[in-house]
Structure 1
Amino acid sequence: MRSTFKATVIMLLRTPSALVWALAFPVLMATLFMFMFSSMRNDGSVDAVPVAVVADATWDDSMFAEAVSALADEGGDVSGDDSGAALLAVTEVETLAEARDLLDTGEVDGVFRVDDAGEVQLTVAPEYSSAHQGDRGRSYGINRSILETVASSYIQSEALLEDLVARDPSALSDPQVVERALSLAADTEHISLTRGTPDETVRYYYALMGMATMFVAQLSMIAVSNIRPTASAVAARRCIAGTSRIRQLAGALLGSWALSAIFLSVAFAFIRFVVGIDFEGREGLCLLALAAGACMATGLGALVGSLPLKGSATSGSGILTGLTCVLSIFAGLYGEPTMKLADSIARAVPVSAWINPTKLVCDLFYSLYFYESLVPFAARLLACVAWGAVLFACAAPLFRRHRYAHL
């Protein structure tokens, strides 16, 4: 069995198709995803909102100008929090007409001005402006809410001070009273529903790892096909040797499983360190998950390789490739529509997530991302190993009992 293990590893490393599908393909797909999703990922920081101000005499005399200036300074905000980043990117213009031109061209998302009565006015970008188009359009809604909050907070604070003066003019002599009246501070507790910073793109990388796990089934399929007596003269000599077929099969599967786990680990390392997907210190558990997924994929490849197919490895490769592509639909790999379809099916038929190998591996990573408890992870890990054992149990009698007219 040891010689079969060694021969299997050497043979697979010399097989171009095995290296392409099991090693190169996941890395190439992860690279493609990295460029596709680069604009969707963020580091948790908020970009400064571009806004124009009509800097006339009325503006200069208003307290609102000082508030906007504080928000435009790096590290300053209304609550006094030194965040190190400006909330507003201010462009000063002399007239409202100039400000509207900036709005129309999409250079700013809003215009602040103070009218002759001292009232704060906010003008937002019209729907036909470029602020509503493309990447800007996705962030415009948030930027508009920020500008509206800034204006409304100032107006509320101003009204509160006027009411305070009307009730007790002497209250303004106590700075602490004014500070408490205008304070927006509140006790907050940071709670995350996931272990890491929420990132909508991680689901696609998890689905990719599920697809990659299915593709490494090609290794065990090729390994089993190559030890069938009709595969080559060497395989024929092995058939009539003293080593039993089950021991030959076991050696071939151990070799392909070890190589599968290594290839998946390489793809995982690329996603972790090159793409930058954070697994919040659970990298060791992720590698364990990939080893279990490789066990399941090895069993599947052994079953397909043991089938009496014409064309042997070529036919088996076509079956596994087609099966992988179809099952990846139900893991949500091909975009948002398939992701919604996968979620709908998982909710309607929960058992489908346990019988789809791609979805099962995908959920292994989900369980580490969403749950502090390791119970969901352990359940899916055992399911992967159990599927591997069941598939091997089905492949072994097929391989052992197959008869040949001649060698």
Structure 2
Amino acid sequence: MDMFWNIYSKRLLSSIRNKDQLIWIWAFPLIMATLFYFCLSSVSQSDNLESVPVGVVTDTAYEEDQMFNQVLEQVGSGEDAILKVTEYAQRDKADSALEKGDIDGYILIRENIPQLVVKQDGINQTILKSFLDRYVQTEGNIRSIMEKNPDYALDFEGIMGGDTLTEEISLSSQPYSPVVNFYYALIAMICMYGGMQGLTSITYLQGNLSALGARRMMAPLGRIRVIFYDLLASATVHIMSLLFLLFYITVILRVDFGDRLPLLVLTCLAGTILGVAFGTAISCLTKLGENMKVGILVSITMFCCFGAGMMVSGMKYIVDQHMPIISWLNPAARISDAFYCLYYFDDYQRYCQNIAVILAMAAGMFLLSAFSLRRQNYESI
């Protein structure tokens, strides 16, 4: 136990004091999460359309068109109003408001036909144009109904909004979020960066790569035990960084990851094991210098994160559809998909499949590393 605590505690202190690892697994994730928050917060709010500010010239022609008056009154009232209507007695006042940007366009009646005046093209201007086009198309039917049944209360908002006979439902208890996948891919990337911990641990145990490794190889203790103690300390430091990142995203940035916090932590732990195993495999299976190994680790990690959808939205879905085998062999994609399953799926079948694949990958990498280390011998140290 004394030997375990001696190796374990020293490795903990070494990892915490490593400046490169402090940057990559502590500072860098927080910076990326913060950038995601500011860059993607507007995306999550883009589905909430606000009322379009529009003006109307209330001249004699407008006053005589009672039906259009009723339509504007109904679609411009209520909390979820399509339009925010402002009346102008004269056209020059409407032109002035349009020039200042107070409204996105204004409507005036000419020859019993509503006409739209805008300053520039845009989403709101397109909405206004579509609204007037739909009104003109349905005007005849509306007039016919009102002439035959003057007391009938027409739902102008429903008519102009284009109600359908289908109802949109969600297959999950969680609301759809277009941004959580980016955070999941970020956490998957940091899990893979646990490879730096594994790589450093193996480097410190190889006599041909460092003076420390030469001294440790001469110690009267079994190599497997030393490696196990060392990697356990490395995994401890890395899971601490992941839990801090998870705390920062969910508590400080207030990103909703659902209500399955224990399983989120379990997924981070599985991802940490895979990341550390990834680093040990690269360190054991290549004879390059430490800097070159780090370069290989970072390059492979970024490529995997690209396939997991961190850089391009929807990339993970594209890979799943066209190259499913590659997707299942992508460790970053499996980690992010495990988070995805916890957020959207009510059952645990696919989540368990992802965790099983993650642990199987980690076991395979550890076995390759152990086989490689057993074959390493030194003629002299």
Q: Normalising by the residue count of structure 1, what TM-score does the alignment of the two structures yield?
A: 0.79
Distance 2:125 2:206 in 1: 63
Q: Aligned AA for 2:335?
A: V
SS of the equivalent of 1:241 reads coil
- Residue 334 in 1 paired to residue 311 in 2? yes
Alignment-derived partner of residue 322 in structure 1: 299
Q: Aligned AA for 1:11?
A: S
- Residue 286 in 1 paired to residue 227 in 2? no
1:265/1:55 CA distance change after superposition, 3 Å: same
- Residue 26 in 1 paired to residue 4 in 2? no
Once the two structures are superposed, the pairs formed by residues 324-363 of structure 1 within 5 Å of their partners are 324-336=301-313, 339-340=314-315, 342-363=316-337
Report deviation, 1:376: 0.8
Q: Aligned AA for 2:298?
A: T
Contact 2:57-2:94 at 8 Å conserved across structures: yes
Alignment-derived partner of residue 233 in structure 2: 255
* Correspondent of 1:38 among 37, 41, 47: 41
SS of the equivalent of 2:257 reads coil
* Correspondent of 2:120 among 125, 130, 139: 130
CA offset digits 1:281-322 (Å, max 9, x no partner): 1333222212111111111111122245343x3232111111
Distance 1:216 1:230 in 2: 23
Distance 2:307 2:156 in 1: 53
Contact 2:71-2:156 at 8 Å conserved across structures: no
SS of the equivalent of 1:90 reads strand
Distance 1:153 1:281 in 2: 47
Report deviation, 1:217: 1.3
Distance 1:276 1:149 in 2: 41
Q: Aligned AA for 2:371?
A: P
Report deviation, 1:149: 5.8
* Correspondent of 1:7 among 3, 7, 10: 10
Distance 1:375 1:268 in 2: 24
Alignment-derived partner of residue 338 in structure 2: 364
How well do the aligned residues superpose, as a CA RMSD in angstroms?
3.3
- Residue 384 in 1 paired to residue 358 in 2? yes
SS of the equivalent of 1:37 reads helix
Unaligned runs of 5+ in 2: none
Aligned length: 373
Q: Aligned AA for 2:325?
A: V
Report deviation, 1:189: 5.7
Unaligned runs of 5+ in 1: 77-83, 166-171, 173-177
SS of the equivalent of 2:216 reads helix
Distance 1:392 1:181 in 2: 67
Further displaced range: 92-101 or 220-229: 92-101
Q: Normalising by the residue count of structure 2, what TM-score does the alignment of the two structures yield?
A: 0.84
CA offset digits 1:244-282 (Å, max 9, x no partner): 111111111111122222212222222223333322213
Once the two structures are superposed, the pairs formed by residues 157-306 of structure 1 within 5 Å of their partners are 157-165=142-150, 172=151, 178-179=152-153, 184=158, 191-230=169-208, 234-306=212-284
